[in-house]
Structure 1
Amino acid sequence: MAGRILDDYGRQAREGMEPSLAEFLAAEEEAAAENRAAFERAGLKQGRSARPRPPDTAVKILDRGWSAPLVVGPLAGLAHPEGTPAVVRAAGAAVLPAVVDASTPHPLADLAAAGGGPLWLRTYAAGDPGATPRPVAEAEEAGFAALVLTLRPQDGVRPPRAADVGWTDLERLRASSPLPLIVAGADTAADARRAVDAGADGLVTGSLRGLPALADAVAGRCSVLLDGGVRGGADVLVALASGADAVLVGRPVLDGLLAGGEAGVTEVLDGLVRELADAMRFTATPSVAEAHRAAIADGPGPAPAARQAHRGAPEPQDPGTGGARSADLRKTDLHPSLSDPVLDTMNFLNEVTHRYPDAISFAPGRPYDGFFDTEQIFTHLRRYLDHLAAQGRTPQEIRTAMYQYGPTAGQIREIVADSLRADEDIDVPDESIVVTVGAQEAMLLVLRALISGPDDVLLVASPCYVGITGAARLLDVAVTPVQEGEDGFSCAELEAAILRERARGRRPRALYVIPDHSNPSGTTMDAPTRDALLELAERHGILLIEDSPYRRVSPGVPLPALKSLDRSRTVIHLGSFAKTVFPGARVGFAVADQRVVDDTGRTGLLADELARIKSMVTVNTSSLSQAAVAGTLLAAEGRISVLNADAATYYGNAMQTTLRNLDARLPAARRAALGVRWNEPTGGFFLTVHVPFQADNAALTRSAQEFDVIWTPMNYFYPQGGGHQALRLSTSYLTTADIEKGTARLARFIEAQSAERKAS
């Protein structure tokens, strides 16, 4: 969304840049990539104003008036310290605050005298409880207007207790310094509230996606600023409408400095303010205080009501009715999750797919339907009806079983239990099973039951299936990712995450994981890791939510399911018949045999609690769908492994065909030169390809438009950012011919995109 002037400065700044600085800035760009992707997705909607007037860009924050909601700098850490005086002077002339890094070689008093505008000092957590972040006293004497404390320690400083980093510094600064204190790095709602309770006057977050929730968490008690990814005035408006009071602009300012010195910085700041005014004029936003979600066509989320109240903004009115309130619902009055990008990822893929119907798509993770015969539906239903009759059910009872709602927990639980015993060596009582509307409902029920308060946390293996993070977002459940390495899941990383969360006063409740051929990465957890994971979960008192959609769509004998190894009721097992038996029936299940004890000492099963929740959500799973699935299972005596043998072979062949063709199109020497690599799953639907460029929505659009091939950006699957240079390929729905053509097109796209990146 950046304007032409800002783009020109960016290009000029990159020309002749020192390699060390370029490498440093590349890392900065990587950190801001998620915000850039969110800004690029966010379009502005043209508005109409009944009372046109010039937009008012002025703001008042920390009791100081500024010309625009911009904070200048800092200059990407130590990227260009000698340019600080020029930046300070340009910011002062623009009546904007500037952030000076504590590492600056310039005396703070000299900078304050040079600038004439408000200066903020950025300092870091000392890491040593006895140390004081420097040079706070010097800043106070120089007349600085605020302190910005970054909770992480400065590079090279290793604190004795990582979980305590920054908080003692915050408390010490608040007690010792009269300057307004802004805290950077408190990116979760719990940390934000903790910072405000400790006396923070403002917060800086690096996540546009998390901005609405963070602003809601502080509920107008302090200012909220966004740092990272802002490249133009339209981006500024998107951030304001999403809950920010102002934004930090470091990279555009550095580009202006490198390309044009102080005059370049001045032109960049003037350009940003002009672009912001243009965006406000286009969206009929009269003032910064009235920036509202209605101005954005798509984006990270609404401007929370608390932020609007904090700014003193009036309720938005329909510009086409002369100020009268519209009968339409406002998105800001709906749950914030409805504006979260995680809920829009699949919509974007669908849009691209429909826009380019001739493209070969490696995106959809759905089963191949060539194995299904429409007439089989009636055979399956008849078999189940005969089963009921053989059990002694009367015609009236059979009619009721088919036409009525049926029991909430499901009417085919014993058939599901028999199948689990036959195929998975999972021996649980029927009453521990709840039959659900797909595995997605099972996730929703389990999260609702387990997460009882704001300090409860769901851990997820990251990258992870968007369905679980989407369900968590809908339920306001805090998600903490446990990063997977390229060699698979790490129990050491999980234990570290558990200890970190507990040190922060939060309670890890469960870990969600797909042990077999996971979505999206395609990795499979090895046997030693499964044993270690069960031991760790039992020792730390957390549950494991095992999702198992891909075990029976893969050739060969799978490793034992976690639930089959579970001897302490640590595992909640989720399953689905959508990938194997009958996709359209949408039947899944949860195995929840954990005991639940109430205040009177009475004991029940977690499955009973899930059924209670389900009774208020879907009431029951379709009796007709259950009957079709049950009839199919009965035909194979419960053994999906037998029923799905041909399909598993097909999927395995599709995966191997894809891998062979990738290797032929991009041989080892060529991909080593490019920096391309991929994993080699033995089954499932997915594999991961790592590339040397940003594999974002813009790259996907180019891939579809110019090369007629579609894939899924891996960054969709990282809850807190990541995967920006990787893409997911799904092999399940393609013929051999499609795979051969698709991989050839994909290789050409990777070559072209890599060459363009190298040239720039």
Structure 2
Amino acid sequence: MNFLNEVVARFPDALSFAPGRPAEGTFEVEDLPRYLRSYTDYLEGELGWSRERVRTQLFQYGRTNGVIHDLIARTLANDEQIHVSPESVVVTTGCQEAMLITLRALFARPDDTLLVSSPCYVGVTGAARLLDIAVEPVPEGTHGPNADEVLAAVRRTREAGRRPRALYVVPDFANPSGASMTVEARGRLLAVAAQEDLLILEDDPYGFFVRAGSARPTLKALDRRRRVLHLGSFAKTALPGARVGYVVADQEVIDPAGRRSLLADELSKIKSMTTVNTSAVSQAVIGGLLVESGCRLREANAASIAHYRTNLSTVLEELARHFPAERRRALGVRWNEPAGGFFLVVDVPFVADAKALERSARHFGVLWTPMADFFLDGGGEHQLRLSCSALSREEIVEGVGRLARFIEAQVATADA
């Protein structure tokens, strides 16, 4: 992450397919005070709160588990058919905190091990490293993690004298690969989790952004045995600057004295010792946005869904235009075609490392992300990730042209 930021800073005029940030086209400064007003009107009008109580809600620390948990639970029910008590929702400072406190709560023993798809989002593997949690890679297939591979990783971990505690997975349009699990594969994964006493940490930031076909149910929506902790964020679907995320932790916890509580309450204890609580002002802004949308973010994101669909389709069309079938075979270039999301992967016949990225930026004015850093067990040396989210259609057309010229030149240099 730091390396990419440094490269972007050194080559500000380069077109960048590197960051996975959302587009800014629909953001307006005037929206922020309106969202805040919508939330306070909701508290006073719908919930009947006094002005003094509203003031305390906005200006004080507030409830550790968050103050918009009821609105989030309602939104999850409307958008994802995830029906949980608001008390099982912990509002966090971005999804990164949701990952961190969840890992800290679940991984208590030295032999506890986190299974992750490989390649994997670096945020969760970085958090695991920070907490000194052992990580076991699960090879990712075309359609995400395969249940048989997960089962093999579980048994491999146990044979090594460690306990497989949970699996982290992005089932829809994963970062970095763009892979998505079929509905059948989701069912098989849940069956393996129940069979092997494995929890699933489901991260779902991209599920709205379908390019082709219809949205698939989340693992949490399919979960009947409370094996899934659902991690979410409003960064891609609402407002990244608010830094508001959440985790649904509706599992029952029994302490040594036999007392029962929700896992969400245990997460709250950890959060109280780290960030204390998520900004009440940020929550109010997101709360107002949810109120205005009728707690139906999927409908409110119609324009964004269309934008990302167009962007991803444009990248795929431009790659096909610059590398027709015969030319791509001759060069050894190919790419996947995700059904949605922000990312796709291009296979190239040269090492796509930091040195190649620097040449791409300096001489061709285009940035991308090396894939090798996303693998835990080696791999990705000849792959690069493209993110289409933050560019306009015109920038994508120009950027893919620059990328094609870089790839052609890089292949020619390697052949010389």
- 1:732 equivalent in alignment to 2:389: yes
Q: Which amino acid is 1:523 matched to? A: A
Q: SS in structure 2 opposite 1:573? A: strand
Matches within 5 A, 1:154-233: none
Check conservation: 1:652, 1:682, Cα contact below 8 A: no
Q: SS in structure 2 opposite 1:459? A: strand
- 1:547 equivalent in alignment to 2:175: no
Deviation of 1:448 after TM superposition, in Å, equals: 0.2
CA offsets, 1:531-553, max 9 Å, x none? 00000000000000000000123
CA distance in 2, matches of 1:758, 1:542: 48
- 1:418 equivalent in alignment to 2:74: yes
Could you say which residue in structure 1 is the equivalent of 2:133? 477
Structure 2: state its 5+ residue gaps: none
Check conservation: 2:61, 2:279, Cα contact below 8 A: yes
Matches within 5 A, 1:259-338: none
Could you say which residue in structure 1 is the equivalent of 2:114? 458
CA offsets, 1:585-625, max 9 Å, x none? 00000000111001121111111010100000100000000
Tell which has more relative contact order, 1 or 2 (C-alpha 8 A, sep 6+): 2
- Which residue, out of 188, 201, 218, partners 1:561? 218
Check conservation: 1:359, 1:709, Cα contact below 8 A: yes
Check conservation: 1:544, 1:570, Cα contact below 8 A: yes
CA offsets, 1:199-248, max 9 Å, x none? xxxxxxxxxxxxxxxxxxxxxxxxxxxxxxxxxxxxxxxxxxxxxxxxxx
Check conservation: 2:144, 2:171, Cα contact below 8 A: no
Deviation of 1:755 after TM superposition, in Å, equals: 2.0
Q: Which amino acid is 1:570 matched to? A: R
CA offsets, 1:5-52, max 9 Å, x none? xxxxxxxxxxxxxxxxxxxxxxxxxxxxxxxxxxxxxxxxxxxxxxxx
Matches within 5 A, 1:664-743: 664-743=321-400
Deviation of 1:453 after TM superposition, in Å, equals: 1.8
Could you say which residue in structure 2 is the equivalent of 1:237? none
- Which residue, out of 168, 181, 188, partners 1:525? 181
Deviation of 1:735 after TM superposition, in Å, equals: 0.8
Check conservation: 1:553, 1:579, Cα contact below 8 A: no
CA distance in 1, matches of 2:221, 2:155: 27
- Which residue, out of 209, 212, 237, partners 1:580? 237
Q: SS in structure 2 opposite 1:727? A: strand
Q: Which amino acid is 2:255 matched to? A: D
- Which residue, out of 234, 250, 264, partners 1:607? 264
Could you say which residue in structure 2 is the equivalent of 1:350? 5
Q: Which amino acid is 1:693 matched to? A: F
Could you say which residue in structure 1 is the equivalent of 2:276? 619
CA distance in 2, matches of 1:434, 1:516: 22
CA distance in 2, matches of 1:720, 1:620: 36
Deviation of 1:487 after TM superposition, in Å, equals: 4.6
CA distance in 1, matches of 2:225, 2:384: 38
TM-score calculated relative to the size of structure 1: 0.54
CA distance in 2, matches of 1:675, 1:693: 9
Deviation of 1:485 after TM superposition, in Å, equals: 2.3
Check conservation: 2:143, 2:181, Cα contact below 8 A: no
CA distance in 2, matches of 1:542, 1:487: 21
CA distance in 2, matches of 1:669, 1:487: 26
- Which residue, out of 366, 372, 383, partners 2:27? 372
Matches within 5 A, 1:612-651: 612-651=269-308
- 1:756 equivalent in alignment to 2:407: no
CA offsets, 1:728-753, max 9 Å, x none? 00000111111111101101111111
- 1:571 equivalent in alignment to 2:225: no
Could you say which residue in structure 2 is the equivalent of 1:597? 254
Could you say which residue in structure 2 is the equivalent of 1:402? 58
Deviation of 1:395 after TM superposition, in Å, equals: 1.1
Deviation of 1:526 after TM superposition, in Å, equals: 0.7
Q: SS in structure 2 opposite 1:370? A: coil
TM-score calculated relative to the size of structure 2: 0.98
Deviation of 1:580 after TM superposition, in Å, equals: 1.2
Q: Which amino acid is 2:146 matched to? A: S
Deviation of 1:486 after TM superposition, in Å, equals: 3.4
CA distance in 2, matches of 1:598, 1:458: 23
Check conservation: 1:592, 1:605, Cα contact below 8 A: yes
Could you say which residue in structure 1 is the equivalent of 2:312? 655
Q: SS in structure 1 opposite 2:179? A: coil
Q: Which amino acid is 1:490 matched to? A: N
Q: Which amino acid is 1:733 matched to? A: A
Matches within 5 A, 1:26-41: none
CA offsets, 1:458-501, max 9 Å, x none? 00011110000110111011111101123532111111110011
Could you say which residue in structure 2 is the equivalent of 1:384? 39
CA distance in 2, matches of 1:487, 1:411: 37
Q: SS in structure 1 opposite 2:205? A: coil
CA offsets, 1:381-435, max 9 Å, x none? 1010011102121111110000001000000100000000011000000110000
Could you say which residue in structure 2 is the equivalent of 1:363? 18
Q: SS in structure 2 opposite 1:552? A: coil
Q: SS in structure 1 opposite 2:150? A: helix
CA offsets, 1:539-582, max 9 Å, x none? 00000000000012335631000000000000000000011111
Count of aligned positions: 414
Deviation of 1:721 after TM superposition, in Å, equals: 2.3
Deviation of 1:354 after TM superposition, in Å, equals: 1.1
Check conservation: 1:563, 1:573, Cα contact below 8 A: yes
CA offsets, 1:667-688, max 9 Å, x none? 1111111111101112111000
CA distance in 1, matches of 2:35, 2:309: 27
Q: Which amino acid is 2:151 matched to? A: E
Check conservation: 2:113, 2:136, Cα contact below 8 A: yes
CA distance in 2, matches of 1:578, 1:706: 33
Q: Which amino acid is 2:21 matched to? A: R
Q: Which amino acid is 2:217 matched to? A: P
Could you say which residue in structure 2 is the equivalent of 1:447? 103
Q: Which amino acid is 1:486 matched to? A: T
CA distance in 2, matches of 1:449, 1:487: 30
Q: Which amino acid is 2:31 matched to? A: Q
Check conservation: 2:364, 2:406, Cα contact below 8 A: yes
Matches within 5 A, 1:13-24: none
Matches within 5 A, 1:8-87: none
> Structure 1 residues 487 and 692, CA, compared in 2 at 3 Å: closer, same or farther?
farther
Deviation of 1:359 after TM superposition, in Å, equals: 0.8
- Which residue, out of 423, 430, 449, partners 2:86? 430
Could you say which residue in structure 2 is the equivalent of 1:335? none
CA distance in 2, matches of 1:600, 1:407: 26
CA distance in 2, matches of 1:399, 1:486: 51
Q: SS in structure 1 opposite 2:145? A: coil
Please say which structure displays the higher CA radius of gyration. Answer: 1
Could you say which residue in structure 2 is the equivalent of 1:318? none
